[in-house]
Amino acid sequence: MTDPDDAPARYVFRVTYRLAPGEGLAVDPDHFETVLYRTADPPGEDGWLFFRDNLWRGELADEGHFRRQAEDALGVPVESASFSELQTDEAYLDDLRAAIADDLDAFNAENVTEVLSKYLGSSIRVE
């Protein structure tokens, strides 16, 4: 998977995690908020349907499931997570629209605009 900083598109999440030091240790503060970036897989390749499988109307469809995935990835207890946006360039967005158009039935939608709205809401930022 491409480094999110170098990818033509990436998902952006806000994550609050906590540190849980061992016995006899304490930290202050123990809660932190950070931004988590996930590379958006190229349309048509494995993983490209991440938005369909995890988002609904610009929100996480199952926040608890995503928190558990984030905990595994980050190695810390995640208290909360929320989807912020899909950051993309115009070429990736064009490819995404084309891949969606090629299989509208998989999205139970009549057009590409409906699909993007259904899953990403208005949370697409083209850079």
Question: pTM of the prediction?
Answer: 0.90
1 pLDDT band, cuts 50/70/90, is low
CA nearest 124: which of 83, 66, 95, 80? Answer: 83
Segment 46-79, tens digit of pLDDT: 999 999 999 999 999 999 999 999 999 999 999 9
CA distances from 92 to 17, 81, 100, 103, 115 (A): 31, 25, 12, 17, 16
Beta partners for residue 13, in sequence order:
36, 83
Q: What DSSP string runs through 85-98?
A: EEEE-HHHHHHHHH
pLDDT at 44: 94
pLDDT tens digits, 97-125: 999 999 999 999 999 999 999 999 999 99
Q: Is residue 2 part of a domain?
A: no
Number of domains in the chain: 1
DSSP class of residue 55 equals E
Domain span including residue 38? 9-119
Does some domain include residue 127?
Answer: no
Please identify which residue in the block is written with the tokens 């009549």: 110
Q: Are strands 55-56 and 31-39 parallel, antiparallel or unpaired?
A: unpaired
* Domain assignment present for 126: no
The predicted-structure confidence for 21-42, as pLDDT tens digits, reads as follows 899 999 999 999 999 999 999 9
**Residue 125, domain member (yes or no):** no
20 assigned to some structural domain? yes
Q: What is the DSSP letter of 75?
A: S
Instruction: Say if 3 falls within a structural domain.
Output: no
- The verdict on residue 80 lying in a domain is yes
Inside any domain, residue 40: yes
**Residue 78 DSSP SS3:** strand
